[in-house]
Structure 1
């Protein structure tokens, strides 16, 4: 029996192909479903409040339990995915979310709906953790950054689609059918995802060499299509240690955990602490609802533009430069935002501010954070960072409200500026660049972590 399937070398020497793009679409649709659920859920509670089916307090409970489910789901996905496999974790989360979505459609009151919402969050909360980590283990180093960044485009597109669904379904069929649609989408995706292979890198770390070999041969046949594939280096990796989650909180991994968490916390604070509050801020400043929503729509168009910009720069300039630049641009736009008084200037600067925040989402959350951790604990590392980000997203609501009452929108924007500058310094200080490098060359120094006799850097041109 052979001791290795040479998974890293064989996967990293493959050209970008239809296999990779199909995998991107199947994984990306899961992120689409997560954002679709979050956006439609926010609209539904507004309708329930207007219909007298809910109250402000019950809406707050609904939101709190949603984030609680997302947080627990992220943590559990990391543990299950590293221990039992990426594929299994992917299937479990969709079953939980799909069943809970159908249950939400028949909830008898707001208390039941909020409790079911926790279960929905538990299921869909796993998506981001598994998606970025799993896709990165298949994609060659020269393309990994842009492919991972592209996943965020799926999430952003869900906001527009979700708004269309809300616009037609809720008035004509009722809010319960929105949950039915989410359940149908989840079950459909569960069926499609049964064809996704397990990560050969993960199988190899578990000593399941024969299974890794079968998966690798299937991928190679799909990519080659009867042609010749580039040769690969026969490098034998060192045995992979099976470490506990505690490794994330011990040197030298602790620094990576802290920086990864800082990226996700900063993203959560910027999106849920600023962007989601923009309509409220504008209305509180005396603008009418139509003007507020118009300005917000224009400004939030920076989201998909920023994601696409992240796709463009991730592999060209590198993760660290892109993250640092996005933070600095966000900070500069935030400072300018506080000084402008023209409507068009306000929308223009706001657009650039949101655009730069979503560059950070695409490059930082999508590519950089999963790359900071070794294969044997990649999902747990990403899960811990994601958990920190979601706790910050949920907890910042009251802090943002306090800032707004004390100093208005200027103080809120100022806090985002400070957070972005602190993150830029942290990413600069860690001095870890992942562009064009194999995941195995990025291992973080755990005793016994997998290493090879030689290290190779591949570019997209090979």
Structure 2
């Protein structure tokens, strides 16, 4: 396999005088067709995101056995689920900060290495305390990988078809959730809970190879005034495009576009230019965290303890919910460039809220009825959740894009810390219907917030969206 260095200095069909401005870098990215290097980047970084999803949901498939092994109380169960989210909260700030300073690809590689090492360690954890501590450390990597990966994939995409390109990459996250549930349903009863964590160590491979075979974000390099490196990175993509590239004719227009906007800092996330966007992002990601962690991680345990379903049935019902999550994400990927980001988010969240409310109304019925409404809720949530990964990076300029995504991810983790405890308290108090109503209120409020405070970004160059 050729490395990035093989592409540098081979030429790109662009006159050398046109290469060394930020505007020309953007112009070359925007005229670039889909190419093999983009596919490589999407697959490899998608693999990191796949195992991010895999490791996040592994706790759900292993939780019933961990409860039995360590005789966990409801409080301890909630603490164990939330422990990973505490680490992810720190990671959501740490790795985007590293990405702004040292590059997107390096930050993704570092987070992947941390995920892999701690996943192996979890499999050898001798006690509940050690396991919970390792979950915190692993969470730092899990919390940092997703926002940086979403930033990178957005930055190597052009405006035309960006939503579909990004979301066909992001769909690997719900596939990771599905794979974890499906594999866990087969592996855990046969080989024990430790096996899932050993499988989750695969991101270690990416730590070794990612920086050698995937180019750094040209937009980030150009924004940092590392224009020679930005030129080489764009050339790495251009060299794998089929056919003759169209000439660059609009570099000056892009240069004028970026020169109109001042360089932003992290404090601008809460400044007048971006405050409404940041509030919309906060509510969007809080909702995803609240439902994902407040519902998904609890489902096998709810089916087993409340409805007395056998372990295999409880795990199988959770797999069915993950299937709808993948289908909802795929439908979103096909529609997002046609109908826009905001309509997808708003309709998805409203239908998610309705499904959760119906689960509350019907909670005294059979486990299959409740499981059906929960599966629908997670399917609709997945459509809105996956759209957040293309929508959030579009709302911020390159200088703070990774941090903007990280702050959004941090709100997800804050919600994830508290949501399991809320479900635990209502469930142990015999008020499962109240838990469903609380969960339903969150996506309903999010849909209203995004509708009034969010902007539509469909079909626009990233630099056009700077405030």
Give the TM-score, by structure 2 length.
0.84
Say yes or no: does 1:11 pair with 2:29. yes
Q: Is the 8 A contact 2:82 2:418 kept in 1?
A: no
2:355 is the alignment partner of 1:333: yes
Provide closer, same or farther for how the CA distance between residues 399 and 168 of structure 1 changes in structure 2, counting only shifts above 3 A: closer
The Cα of 1:94 is off from its aligned counterpart by 2.1
Query: Which residue of 1 is the match for residue 131 of structure 2?
Result: 113
1:311 aligned partner:
333
Answering whether residue 257 of structure 2 is matched by residue 233 of structure 1, we say no
Distance 2:398 2:119 in 1: 32
* Per-residue CA distance 1:329-371 (angstroms, 9 max, x = gap): 22333444455587676555444332211111111x2211121
The CA deviation at 1:166 is 3.8
Q: Give distance in 1, aligned partners of 2:153 and 2:55.
A: 22
Unaligned runs of at least 5 residues, structure 2: 1-16
Distance 1:240 1:98, change over 3 A: farther
Which residue number in structure 1 is paired with residue 224 of structure 2?
206
Structure 1 residues 43-442: aligned runs within 5 Å? 43-52=61-70, 55-56=72-73, 61-163=79-181, 165-166=183-184, 175-183=193-201, 185-194=202-211, 195-224=213-242, 226-229=243-246, 231-235=248-252, 236=255, 237-238=258-259, 241-282=262-303, 286=307, 288-289=309-310, 295-339=317-361, 348-363=372-387, 365-404=388-427, 408-442=431-465
Shift of 1:248: 1.2
Q: Describe the shift of the 1:391–1:140 C-alpha distance in structure 2 as closer, same or farther (beyond 3 A).
A: same
Are the equivalent residues in 2 in contact too, given 1:150–1:362 (CA < 8 A)? no
Aligned residues: 440
Cα distance, 1:181–1:232 mapped onto 2, change above 3 Å: farther
Distance 1:212 1:310, change over 3 A: same
Q: What's the offset of the Cα at 1:193?
A: 1.2
Contact 1:24 1:147 in 2 (8 A): no
Instruction: For 1:152 and 1:244, locate their aligned partners in 2 and report how far apart those are by CA, in whole Å.
Output: 27
> In structure 1, what is the Cα distance between the partners aligned to 2:250 and 2:185?
55
What is the distance in 2 between the residues matched to 1:405 and 1:310? 36
Distance 1:199 1:432, change over 3 A: same
Deviations 1:98-152 (A, max 9, x none): 3333444444444333323322221222111111111000112122112222234
> In the superposition, relative to structure 1, how do residues 398 and 329 fare at CA in structure 2: closer, same or farther (>3 Å)?
same
Deviations 1:289-308 (A, max 9, x none): 46655554434432111111
TM-aligned CA deviation for residue 401 of structure 1: 3.5
Kindly tell me: are residues 40 and 335 of structure 1, through their superposed partners in 2, closer, same or farther at Cα, counting changes over 3 Å? closer
Please identify, of 242-251 and 192-201, the stretch whose mean Cα deviation from structure 2 is larger: 242-251
Q: Give the whole-Å Cα distance in 1 for the aligned partners of 2:394 and 2:208.
A: 29
TM-score between the two structures when normalised by the length of structure 1: 0.85
Partners of 1:151 and 1:366 within 8 A in 2:
no
Which one is further off, 207-216 or 276-285? 276-285
Report the Cα distance in structure 2 between the residues aligned to 1:256 and 1:328, rounded to whole angstroms: 20
- CA distance change for structure 1 residues 167 and 375 in 2, over 3 Å: closer, same or farther? same
Tell me how far apart the structure 2 counterparts of residues 282 and 174 of structure 1 sit (CA, whole Å): 20
Tell me the distance in 2 between the aligned counterparts of 1:397 and 1:350. Answer: 16
Q: Quote the RMSD (CA, aligned, Å).
A: 2.9
